[in-house]
Chains A and B, each alone.
Chain A
Amino acid sequence: MFGYTFYWSIVWEKVPELLQGAKATLELTVISMIIGTLIALLLSLLRRQSSGIGMRFAASWIELARNTPALFQIYMIYFGLGALGLHLSSYVAMLIALSFNNAGFLAEIFRGGLQTIPKQQYIAARSLGIGSFKAYTHVVFPQLFRVVYFPYINQLNWALLNSSLGMIIGLRELTGATQAAQSESFRTFEFFIIAAVIYYAMSKIIQAGARFSFWRLVRE
């Protein structure tokens, strides 16, 4: 059946290039998550208003990010802005698009979390004489953190996998680097298996790290 010989030595030569790509992937993931988180905090607060421009702006951002493909969002930033004269590198375009996307999904996660923290918790804390700021920081936010933690980590994992879309606009993150590396020898399968393993490892490390940190943080 397989009239195909596996040729691993060529792949090993190119592994450093793949790892460079993995480094870019991680950068992209982490930075876009940080930016996305900051924006999402703002968006989820705006979204909780009952009306007004802020609320509608936040709602539009969130719905747009969640109801269109991530690749579409990437195209919009890369090609769309390009048509308007603003030519961004694929790295910057990817970063902006991923941050936009992350912000939308994270805002929903934060919103869900804020809904599950009953107002009663806040009121109970205030009734005990705890000041407003402390009520938020000592009672509401710690519970919010617990509720939101694992969905947040899921989104982080998602951002990691989404970064692979960079290949389509020519970015040499891990997938793009793999595509470039295999284009000489056409050992598609071998190269992409290695890339898959690297992604799997990164994903597992993130999940394991997350579970470990949660355990440490919650123990206090």
Chain B
Amino acid sequence: MIEIKNVRKSYGELEVIKGINLTIKKGEVLCLIGGSGSGKSTLLQCINGLEPIQSGEIIVDNTKVHDPKTDLNQLRQKLGIVFQQYNAFPHMTALENVALAPRLVKKIPKREALELARQHLDYVGLGNRADMRPASLSGGQQQRLAIARALAMQPSYMLFDEVTSALDPELVGEVLDTIRKLKKTGMTLVMVTHDISFARESADRVAFFDNGLICELGDARQVVNNPKEERTKQFLQRVLN
């Protein structure tokens, strides 16, 4: 379970998260939607400690993320994250990309790590491209590579930060299919996305972020089809047109 309690965060003078409370349950699929600058991507990077917070707490499986005594490298093995772009290490093959962290962090011997990597590449449909470099892969394939790489660490939670926003439209589908596959395994997914229809169809809950706060939070179908808040309605109208 991920608990976000009264979190506030600023970049210098600018406050981007103004007091967020959110509990993410194990096994659920939660989509975060909202305009640019509303704080959703920032929150994601706070969850795994990439970004510091100014007040409040984030607790992942009973561990406080921003406690100085917490071993972040240990904690991060539970939280897989995939970014919008530049995910794949360009100087390694797909196989080496996926095998790197298991080798270095989990100290798995090289041969086993490569085998593990191959399995995960198969899982996302890149088995036949294991020896190719990211530069030879399409955007969609690179994103699937990033997903495989994160999954190879066997995380309990997967965080997706607008992973389809930078892709050409025809490549979006293959990435979403992979995410749907993940959902079926019961993994907890937290996704920042602009893809409202995906949120409506695949998420359990949707949170609408506005200006550093959660404006509306509820069942996915309800929030998208029948938003309660005025600002949510305005946002959805703008986006869905």
A and B touch in the complex (CB under 8 A): no
B-to-A contact residues, CB < 8 Å: none
